[in-house]
Amino acid sequence: MTTDPAVHTGRTALGPFPPAAPRNPDAPHVTAAMIDVDAGQVQGPLARIWESFGYDEFNWTYMPTGKRLLQTFADFSGAGYFVRPHYMYCSGSGFGIPHWSSGNVYHEDADGNPYYDFTLLDQAYDAIVGAGHHLLVELGFTPRDLLPPEAAELTVVPSPTAYTNYEAGAWAYPPNDYAKWAGLISATVRHSIERYGEAEVKTWLWELWNEPDIFYWRGTLDQYNELYTVTVQAIRDVLPEAKVGGPAVTSGGLNFLRGFLDYTSSRDEPLDFISYHTKGCHFPTRDYKPFAEPAAEQLSPSSTKMLYDVREFNRLIGSYEAYADLPVIVDECDAAVPAHFGRYDNRNYSFQNTEYYPVFQAKLMKKILDLNDTEPAKVAYATSWSFYFEAERYFEGTRSFLTAGGIEKPFLNAYRMLSLLGPDRLRATSNAAWHVGELDETDGSSMPEEVDALASRSNDGTVAVLLWRHIDDQYQTSDDLTPVTVIVRNLPAGSYRLRHLRIDADHSNSFTTWQSLGSPQDPTPEQLTKITSHQRLDECEPDRHLTADGDVTLDVTLPLPSASLLILEPAR
C-alpha cells in the first residue's frame, strides 16, 4: 500500500469566492416582479431534495427534545427524512456536548477480543426509525480500542477545559486493524436487521466516514480507499442489497473525491451514491467582544458559492460514465459553518435566528433543482446540518431548528412550506430571478436581490406556488414592499380555495415575537405562549374563494426578506 502524506494539503477552493460575502449597500432592489406559472405543464417529479438533516450530537437524538423534534418533522412532512448523526462509533460516556458525542459501541477484553455494546446506538436509532425516518449511517469514527500507535503523537495542552487526546481528535486516525473494523461493521448491520427488519435497513444509506479530506481523517487517500473496500465488503456480506457510498468530502475536497472515484471505478467497487459537502461561508473566529457591539465586519453567506460548488462537484461526477446517473447527496449543505457557533461568538451568525435563513434555504433548494435540470449528475438530497442544542440561551443563533425551551425557530418553517408542495413540478418563471446559468460568468459575488418561485401540482389538482424575495446580504434592508404579479395559467375551470402562508418579520417568526417582549432569557408562561403562537406557519391573509376559467392572477407584496406560499385548492 502506498500513502500520500500530503493528501490534506492538496485541497482546492472552488471558484473566486471569498470565505464570506462582504456588504454591498448600494446593491439595487427589485421594485416589481412577474411570476408566470403553467398549471398544465408538468416538468416532471418534484425531487424532495430537502428531506434530510444531520448533526454532530448523536446522544441528543434520544433526549426528550430530540425525540420531539424528530416527530415534528414526521408530522408535518408525512414522510421519512434521512437522518445522519456524527460520532456513532466514538468511545465515550454517552454525554453529548456541542460538536461531540459517542455511541461507545466497540470494546476489547483483556486478550484483545472485540465485543460490542449497542445500548446507545439502539436508543438513537429507535428514536429515528420510531418517528418514521431512515438512517444515513455515517460509519465513524475510530473507537479508542482500535487506535493505531501513531495516535499517541496527537497532544493537547492540559487545562481544565481541554479534552483528552482521544476527544481532541485521535478518533480520526485509521483503525489499527481493518479486520476488527470489518467485524464491527458486520455486527452493526446484523444487529440493525435483527432490531428493525431487513425491509427497513434496505432503505438506509451506508456512508464511510465524514470529510476525510480534512482533520476528520488523519490518514491518507490510499488508506481511506482501502478502508472503503473493507467496509463495503463487510456490509454487503450481511446485506447484499445495502446501499453504500461516500466519501463525504468538504467543498475543498474535489481532488480527494477524484482520487476516490478513480479507485472505485478502476476496481469496480460497489458504489450506490456519491456524497460531498458545501458551506456558504465561514466567518472569522469568535470575536470576544461585548455582546452589544456589532460584528467587526458585516459578512453574509453566499448561495452562489454553494451552487458553484455543487455544479463543479457534479460535473466531476458526471465525467465518470459509470457514475453520471448515481444519486448525489450533499449531506452537509449549509449557509455557514460551524453549526455550534452563534451570535455571541460572532454577530454575523445572527441570521440563523431570523426570517433571512428560511428564505435563503427555500431559495437554495430551488436553485439546486435548477442545476439538476442542466447537469448530468443530480442531487438526490441536500442535507441541512441542523438539529438543536442542549443548554442554550434563548435564540443563541446557532444553526438549529429549535432554541432554548424547545421553541421552533423561523428556519423550521422553510421545511414546513416545502413539505406542502405537491409531487409534480410545474413550469414557473420570474422576470426578476437570478438564473444558475449566471455561474458561467461569476466574479465571486454573492447572489443579488431576486424574486423567484417554485411551483407544484398535487394529484387532486391543488397548485402551490412558493415565491420569495431575498438577497444574500443579510444586512441589506428595504422599507418598500415589492409588488409581485403571479399569473397561474391553464387551471381547470372551477372554484378554488386560496391559502396564503407567509414567512417574514411579522409572520411565522418566534424570534421577532421574542424580541418584541424584550428578549427575555427567563420568559414567563404568558410570554412563552405569545412566542410559541408564532412559531409555526402564519396566514398572511384570510382564506378566500375564487373562480378560475383558465387563468388566475394573484397580487402579492413582499418585504425583504420574505417567502409566501400560495395554495390553490379545488373546492369540494
Write down the residue that cell numbers 458526471 correspond to. 318
| 290 inside domain | no
Q: What does the DSSP assignment read for 517-571?
A: TT--SS--HHHHHHHHTTSSPEEEEEEEEEEEEEEEEEEEEE-SSEEEEEEEEE-
- Looking at the structure of the chain, the number of domains it has is 2
Q: What is the pLDDT of residues 263-294, one digit of tens each?
A: 999 999 999 999 999 999 999 888 888 998 99
C-alpha dist (Å) from residue 462 to 73, 194, 199, 459? 22, 42, 33, 7
| 6 inside domain | no
- pLDDT-derived band at 6 (thresholds 50, 70, 90) equals very low
Whole-number pLDDT of residue 2: 36
Domain final residue pick, 420, 436, 457: 420
| 552 inside domain | yes
| 11 inside domain | no
3-state secondary structure of 109: coil
**Residue 416 and residue 426 share a domain:** no
Segments forming the whole domain that contains residue 218? 46-284+297-420
H-helix or E-strand spanning residue 85: strand 82-85
Nearest-CA neighbor of 74 among 104, 58, 51? 51
Domain final residue pick, 362, 389, 420: 420
| 2 inside domain | no
| 497 inside domain | yes
**Residue 180 and residue 57 share a domain:** yes
**Residue 415 and residue 305 share a domain:** yes
Rounded CA separation 201/476 (Å): 46
Q: Would the pLDDT of 9 be above 70?
A: no
Rounded CA separation 418/77 (Å): 9
C-alpha dist (Å) from residue 94 to 55, 69, 118, 131, 172? 15, 20, 12, 22, 18
Residue 349 phi, psi (nearest 5): -75, 0
What are 97's strand-pairing partners? 100
**Residue 245 and residue 267 share a domain:** yes
**Residue 231 and residue 340 share a domain:** yes
Q: Do residues 125 and 115 lie in contact, with contact meaning Cβ atoms separated by under 8 Å?
A: no
**Residue 436 and residue 348 share a domain:** no
Asked whether the bond before 561 is cis by omega within 30 degrees of 0, the reply is yes
Mode of pairing for the β-strands spanning 562-570 and 450-457: unpaired
| 13 inside domain | no
| 18 inside domain | no
- Identify whether 211 is a catalytic site residue: yes
Q: Do residues 487 and 467 lie in contact, with contact meaning Cβ atoms separated by under 8 Å?
A: no
**Residue 456 and residue 377 share a domain:** no
Q: Do residues 566 and 500 lie in contact, with contact meaning Cβ atoms separated by under 8 Å?
A: yes
What are 548's strand-pairing partners? 494
**Residue 139 and residue 94 share a domain:** yes
Q: What is the pLDDT of residues 61-85, one digit of tens each?
A: 999 999 999 999 999 998 899 999 9
- Number of neighbours of residue 380 by Cβ within 10 angstroms: 21
Q: Does the predicted model carry a pTM greater than 0.85?
A: yes
**Residue 389 and residue 474 share a domain:** no
Q: What is the pLDDT of residues 529-559, one digit of tens each?
A: 999 999 999 999 999 999 998 899 999 999 9
Kindly report the CATH number assigned to the domain that includes residue 111.
3.20.20.80
Write down the residue that cell numbers 412558493 correspond to. 466
Q: What is the pLDDT of residues 374-389, one digit of tens each?
A: 999 999 999 999 999 9
Kindly report the CATH number assigned to the domain that includes residue 36.
2.60.40.1500
**Residue 437 and residue 411 share a domain:** no
Q: Would the pLDDT of 456 be above 90?
A: yes
**Residue 341 and residue 322 share a domain:** yes
Q: What is the pLDDT of residues 224-269, one digit of tens each?
A: 999 999 999 999 999 999 999 999 999 999 999 999 999 999 999 9
Domain final residue pick, 367, 400, 420: 420
Rounded CA separation 481/31 (Å): 8
Whole-number pLDDT of residue 287: 86
**Residue 523 and residue 496 share a domain:** yes
The C-alpha R_g of the chain, in whole angstroms, comes to 24
| Amino acid code (one letter) for 71 | Q
- Number of neighbours of residue 523 by Cβ within 10 angstroms: 20
Q: Do residues 76 and 416 lie in contact, with contact meaning Cβ atoms separated by under 8 Å?
A: yes
Q: Would the pLDDT of 435 be above 90?
A: yes
3-state secondary structure of 457: strand
Exactly one of 51, 138, 207, 211 is catalytic; which is it?
Answer: 211
3-state secondary structure of 515: helix
Q: Would the pLDDT of 30 be above 90?
A: yes
